Amino acid sequence: MLRRSGLPLTQGLLRRSNPLGFCLCCSKAKMSTVSKARRLEGADKNIWVEFVKLAATYKTVNLGQGFPNFPPPDFVREAFVDVVSEKDTLIHQYTRAFGQPNLVTILAKFFGKLLGRELDPLDNVLVTVGAYEALFCCFQALVDDGDEVIIIEPYFDCYEPMTKMAGGTPVFIPLQPKAAGDGKLMSSGDWRLDPKELATKFTKRTKAIVLNSPNNPLGKVFSRQELELIAELCVKHNVLCFSDEVYEWLVYDGNKHVRIASLPGMWERTLTIGSAGKTFSATGWKVGWTLRPDELLKHLRTVHQNSVYHCATAAQEAVARAFQTEFERLEKPESYFVQLPKELQQKRDRLVNCLSAVGMKPVVPEGTYFLIVDLTEFKAPLPDFQDSEEPYDFRFVKWMIKNKGLAAIPVSAFYSPPQKKNFDRFIRFCFAKENTTLDAAAAILQQWSQTKPSQ
Ligand code: PMP
Ligand code: GLN
């Protein structure tokens, strides 16, 4: 006790000043000199921690962090209730480290069918604590000091710190927006990779490319042609693909989600990542998975067994039952995976219409439950933040939360430092919300758009 926080024994004896045997102020002063591990350099700031807290501090209509504020479907909630109410109370205890047997079995069956190959539940599936842990295992298990990882911008923010924490170097390539013309709204499909530029990013040091389709925050669904180009380069340069497909079911306007692992030569080198949180509108359950060949998966298992060990047993079992229900009605109109995107497409259009009416130009997403808007032609005067180190969109969203009671996420958070300035007039809204919430946001924007310059 006396040696707590590294205090030498004599000092500890001298400064002993409370019944627990250590002096709080001394221990605090000593603690502050402890340096953090180098791998944490630059990873301490987190957009979600910052903006979730802000949105909760002020009373807001919250279109910020990505989660549905409508409930998961009844069959999913009932599955959880059934699981925890059953007589067999072992469901409350530890389970198999790499996934509850029922869950890995149905995931192998379900995705085996979609990928057109037989998957072994024990060798090809790893259940993780959300897609976050699946990603973390990929980076920790496979990226080494000096390895390069190609990241397509805009990107889900954690890819960058996860690369660096593994000792790797992120190599960024931006999607290039092309104006739609004829006064039409831009679509996320108008944001494309330059094939020549992409080819230059593959070097001898490239270990992996991170693909996120449908993409957060843009909503882009990569076309088969675009995926074939990426696949060709991966095969040519012997590069892995970390394919984050958490929004795989949220695709609109007849677009199709293509699984890159199904393309020639790609199963061997792809780590496909999914999330029950996104799939069943239950983000708090934190059940995720990765599918991959055993030679790659065994290294992820090493990270997983030495860190998290396993994901909550009851949540896994409930997800297994939900998937079983969906398997039996795959592609039928009553499937949740058919119904949810239909509902979300209507919500997307509702928000697109309201944003267009006030001049906040949305980029219409082909997938996900996010859309980004260009602020520059908003009908009301925008606040002018001078002499600020912080990107404009960060300042703007903070101001909007406090002054207008509307929460969003600044889009420059999804860009690497050199690109942030080019995209700091965009913000991201989440439309996986009750219509009443979307209407409340519309009312705020409508009223705000009528503000005169001096107000
Ligand atoms: N990838 C992307 C692209 C995401 O948007 C998120 C956020 N949910 C995750 C991974 C993490 O998913 P989970 O909540 O299952 O950990
Ligand atoms: N994926 C969600 C989003 O993009 C939430 C991420 C998080 O909370 N860390 O909003």
* pLDDT tens by residue, 333-356: 999 999 999 999 999 999 999 999
In angstroms, what is the span from residue 63 Cα to ligand 2's centroid? 12
The minimum-distance atom of ligand 2 relative to the CA of 217 is: 4
- Residue 199 pLDDT > 60: yes
Name the residue with the closest Cα to ligand 1, atom 16.
130
Read off the pLDDT band of 19 (50, 70, 90).
Answer: very low
Read off the pLDDT band of 32 (50, 70, 90).
Answer: low
C-alpha separations of 337 from 72, 126, 214, 226 in Å: 12, 22, 15, 24
Q: Which range is least confidently modeled, 59-68, 102-111, 166-175, 384-393?
A: 384-393
Tell me which long-range contacts 74-81 makes (C-beta under 8 A, separation of at least 24).
75/322, 75/325, 75/336, 76/280, 76/281, 76/282, 76/318, 76/322, 76/336, 79/318, 79/319, 79/321, 79/322, 79/325, 80/285, 80/314, 80/315, 80/318
Per-residue pLDDT, averaged over 114-130, amounts to 97
DSSP per-residue codes, 89-135: GGGGS---TT--HHHHHHHHHHHHHHHTS---TTTSEEEEEHHHHHH
130 lines ligand 2 (CB under 6 A): no
Per-residue pLDDT, averaged over 354-364, amounts to 95
Write down the pLDDT at residue 265. Answer: 96
Torsion angle in degrees (nearest 10) through CA of 9, 14, 15, 16: 80
Beta-bridged to residue 367, according to DSSP, are 251
The minimum-distance atom of ligand 1 relative to the CA of 133 is: 16
Main-chain dihedrals φ then ψ at residue 387, nearest 5 degrees: 50, 45
> Letter for the amino acid at 256?
K
Read off the pLDDT band of 426 (50, 70, 90).
Answer: very high
Say if CB 117 and CB 99 are below 8 A apart. no
Name the residue with the closest Cα to ligand 2, atom 9.
48
Residues 67, 140, 108, 101, CA torsion sign: negative
Residue predicted with more confidence, 15 or 435: 435
Main-chain dihedrals φ then ψ at residue 42, nearest 5 degrees: 80, 0
Write down the pLDDT at residue 255. Answer: 96
Q: Is 25 helix (H, G, I), strand (E, B) or coil?
A: helix
C-alpha separations of 260 from 42, 95, 287, 330, 379 in Å: 31, 31, 22, 20, 41
DSSP per-residue codes, 303-327: HHHTTT----HHHHHHHHHHHHHHH
pLDDT by residue (tens digit) across 215-252? 999 999 999 999 999 999 999 999 999 999 999 999 99
Write down the pLDDT at residue 13. Answer: 37
- First-residue to last-residue Cα distance in the chain: 60
Write down the pLDDT at residue 3. Answer: 35
User: Exposed, middle or buried, 237 (CB in 10 Å: 0-12/13-18/19+)?
Assistant: middle
Read off the pLDDT band of 381 (50, 70, 90).
Answer: confident
Beta-bridged to residue 206, according to DSSP, are 148
Write down the pLDDT at residue 171. Answer: 98
In angstroms, what is the span from residue 76 Cα to ligand 2's centroid? 21
Angle, nearest 10°, between helix axes 392-404 and 47-57? 20
Residues 341, 333, 249, 65, CA torsion sign: positive
Q: Cis link prior to 214 (omega < 30° from 0)?
A: yes
pLDDT by residue (tens digit) across 205-218? 999 999 999 999 99
47 lines ligand 2 (CB under 6 A): no
Indicate the DSSP class of residue 152: E
223, 185, 213: which is closest to 351 by C-alpha? 185
120, 116, 147: which is closest to 238 by C-alpha? 147
Main-chain dihedrals φ then ψ at residue 416, nearest 5 degrees: -75, 160
Read off the pLDDT band of 293 (50, 70, 90).
Answer: confident
Say if CB 170 and CB 151 are below 8 A apart. yes
Average pLDDT, the chain: 92
- Residue 91 pLDDT > 80: yes
Pairing verdict, β 176-177 and 191-192: antiparallel
Read off the pLDDT band of 287 (50, 70, 90).
Answer: very high
Write down the pLDDT at residue 6. Answer: 38
- Residue 20 pLDDT > 50: no
- In whole angstroms, give the CA distance from residue 429 to residue 375: 12
Write down the pLDDT at residue 34. Answer: 85
The minimum-distance atom of ligand 2 relative to the CA of 409 is: 10
- In whole angstroms, give the CA distance from residue 334 to residue 74: 13
Calculate what percentage of the chain has a pLDDT beyond 90.
85
- In whole angstroms, give the CA distance from residue 129 to residue 313: 11
Say if CB 264 and CB 227 are below 8 A apart. no
Read off the pLDDT band of 7 (50, 70, 90).
Answer: very low
Per-residue pLDDT, averaged over 316-338, amounts to 98
- Residue 27 pLDDT > 90: no
Write down the pLDDT at residue 30. Answer: 59
216 lines ligand 2 (CB under 6 A): yes
The encoded tokens of residue 1 equal: 């006790």
**Ligand 1 mutation target, pool 215, 222, 278, most atoms within 8 A of CB:** 278
3-class SS shares of the chain: helix, strand, coil, % to 5: 45, 15, 40
pLDDT by residue (tens digit) across 245-285? 999 999 999 999 999 999 999 999 999 999 999 999 999 99
**Ligand 2 mutation target, pool 53, 65, 129, most atoms within 8 A of CB:** 65
Per-residue pLDDT, averaged over 387-414, amounts to 95
Main-chain dihedrals φ then ψ at residue 272, nearest 5 degrees: -90, 130
Q: What is the reported pTM?
A: 0.92
Write down the pLDDT at residue 134. Answer: 98
